A and B are shown apart, each in its own frame.
Chain A
């Protein structure tokens, strides 16, 4: 079991309704799945929200959880991807003490391709966009200088293999309509 654990990026599209975040996380909680990161934003279509959730689990468990998420009434679709199928980035902010500031750090900042957002007497704030690994590597490098605050977005991701959301919506609309027809057939027979 253990060796089959993989990192998954779960992408969930939902209607814009109160309480959905709660419902989605309940599925993870019930199956004892840790959420490594979770981001949410409006998708490319107005009124449809996109959740990007990173978790580690087995392929079987991932499928079961995704099915249970998709079952939620206001969830449009739930997909999951392995690492190679997503392009993802995180954005991290570091507030670093200037007390120990010296030239090697400035070099570091250059090497890591970070942006300086603010410089004050006691601290500087830098921004790094990159993979989780890069974000953490920079964290380790900055540690000796004294990290006063660290905040990170978690993974935002787009997927390589996926139809356009608009296509899914059209499919869903058709299926929901068809569903009503099947229901009428049932009620008559």
Chain B
């Protein structure tokens, strides 16, 4: 067999894994990789971001929308350090990525050579796995291992640091997918008696509550969960990351959990006698004060990552394993039931929230436009047939609260890390994913709608460049309150309105978009809101809509830090 270069081996590995798209940014240490890419342009599309952090966010969104791992190539040193935030972000939200970084030649390792940073060491605490490759002959095996580790079990980010000499020297190439790794058991077998006990627990409950997390989407278990939920008749709430797992208007859906979630799901968490947590990790944003969480409930935790079981909330029973297989055993063993009285209790709280919060947010009579109005209009106009992306802050919480989801994986947001600047690149990544999707994919022609803040947009606004280069029709809505709204809300509520460094002097976003040749418009009056959104959605191509919104709006209801779920405040004091 003919020997090939290490760089070619990297790309052939990608092709073996069925990858047709990579995101990245070239530099000295990866020039050999880019050279090899040049010869394989027909098989692998490369998306040239404008910053490595953005490249990683784009790869993440691509992964979430396609269900394939995302691949990213960055150079050594600054390329790799720029990628760090993206790596941490994807890993915290359990999204499979392979991040390939260049590295100086192995002879220079440890010498502070030009553009040398210890990426292997830097990535250790924030990646699922990392490896340093210093020889071309190790590439195929390590790549196969990397893909398997990234996508299996609880997915995450794998960082591969490849030295320049490994890319340039010659090797044989034999690729073996999904190697068995004895120290790594991503899908443990679930003992039958655990399932029996779980079923018993569920059948005996009088006021059970199901919590659905991102794990449902990751395990591709939406259908299995839907069957389980509907047979059990148990009301369910979803975490921020689990939002699109089942439709927002499902009759058993009682809303988002946690800090800015629904009043009903939070207030009644402490009335439940059984909490069935499915593919979620009891983030502090969900539990509030943990010692006062689920006070009357037994906890049944179904989770693939053993280290999450009992980490925050101790489980009375845990099912450690893949959700889809767990539910395929569990659903047949539970009784078909309805909990009408219990379900109605949620409605009472919902009515209160509807009257005192939701209506005021989406049908406001205030002089200034409220963020909720924009989200509500987009939600109605797209009827759930959109990929919704958010940045971080008030814009994120309002989008999460008021967009009505219909299809799995149509909500992209930064949950665990809460990374401002995630939104725009993630929207780009999602739109790129659509480009290469087969025609029969339902998401293929969905508009990608970004809700971002004026602050967060500016953290990665350079990606407007990627939009025009890739010609992706991203619809960007900047909810411009001219402040770092979410921080300001806390300053309002907890720091006596001392608005320290949360006012922004902003550029003319419309002009900025126009500089890139992107169509843009600014909306200041409610009367123009709906027609402008309509125009944006109908426009064939990228579009930036800047909506001036009320900076004094507060996202409510709210579980204040240190409070328990049932101490949630429905409205703010002023």
Contact = CB atoms under 8 A, between A and B. Distances in A.
Determine if chain A interacts with chain B: yes
A180 interface: yes
Contact of B185 (A19, A64, A172): A172
B183 A64 contact: no
B187 A22 contact: no
B178 A73 contact: no
How many A residues touch the partner, as a band? Answer: 20 to 34
Given A14-B183, A76-B183, A185-B325, A175 B120 contact: no
Given A19-B120, A169-B182, A185-B325, A179 B307 contact: no
Interface string B299-321: 00000011101110000000001
Interface stretch (B42-50, B75-83, B125-133, B493-501): B125-133
B307 A76 contact: no
Contacts of B186: 179, 183
Interface string A161-189: 00000000100110111111011011001
B324 interface: yes
A180 B180 contact: yes
A30 interface: yes
Contacts of B311: 64, 67
A85 interface: no
Given A73-B181, A179-B187, A64 B124 contact: no
B524 interface: no
A64 B322 CA distance: 20
A6 interface: no
B220 interface: yes
A90 interface: no
Contacts of A26: 124-125
Given A64-B307, A68-B307, A186 B220 contact: yes
B259 interface: no
Interface string B133-165: 000000000000000010010000000000000
A26 B178 CA distance: 28
Contact of A183 (B124, B132, B178, B183): B178
Contacts of A19: 120-121, 124, 130
A137 interface: no
A18 interface: yes
Nearest to B321: A182
Given A26-B124, A64-B307, A182-B189, A76 B182 contact: yes
Contacts of B188: 175, 179
Nearest to B309: A67
Interface string A69-83: 011011110000000
A16 to B, nearest CB: 11
A180 B181 CA distance: 10
A22 B124 contact: yes
Interface of A: prevailing SS? helix
Nearest to A185: B325
A186 B124 contact: no
Contacts of A175: 185, 188-189
A182 B128 contact: no
A179 B182 CA distance: 10
A143 interface: no
Given A182-B325, A186-B322, A186-B324, A74 B178 contact: no
Q: Which of B189, B305, B307 has the most CB of A within 10 A?
A: B307
A189 B324 CA distance: 9
Nearest to A180: B180
Contacts of B125: 26, 30
Contact of A73 (B120, B132, B184, B328): B184
A76 B129 CA distance: 15
A34 B184 CA distance: 27
A95 to B, nearest CB: 33
Nearest to B129: A73
A180 B177 CA distance: 11
Contacts of A75: 183
Interface in B87-145: 120-121, 124-125, 128-130, 132
Contacts of A70: 306-307
A68 B121 CA distance: 18
A14 B183 CA distance: 8
B121 A176 contact: no
B124 A176 contact: no
Interface in B347-363: none
A74 B183 contact: yes
Nearest to A23: B124
Contacts of A173: 180, 182
A14 B184 CA distance: 11
Contacts of A71: 305-307
Interface in A30-67: 30, 63-64, 67
B322 A22 contact: no
A70 B305 CA distance: 11
A47 to B, nearest CB: 11
Contacts of B220: 186
A14 B182 CA distance: 10
Nearest to B130: A19
A105 B309 CA distance: 55
Nearest to A48: B183
Contacts of A23: 124
Shortest Cβ-Cβ A-B pairs, 5 listed: A67-B307, A182-B187, A179-B187, A175-B185, A71-B307
Given A182-B187, A182-B325, 8 more contacts: A23-B124, A71-B305, A73-B184, A175-B188, A176-B181, A176-B183, A177-B180, A185-B325
16 contacts: A14-B183, A18-B132, A19-B121, A19-B130, A22-B121, A22-B124, A63-B310, A71-B307, A73-B129, A75-B183, A76-B183, A175-B189, A176-B183, A179-B152, A179-B189, A185-B325
Interface of B: 120-121, 124-125, 128-130, 132, 149, 152, 178, 180-189, 219-220, 305-307, 309-311, 321-322, 324-325, 328
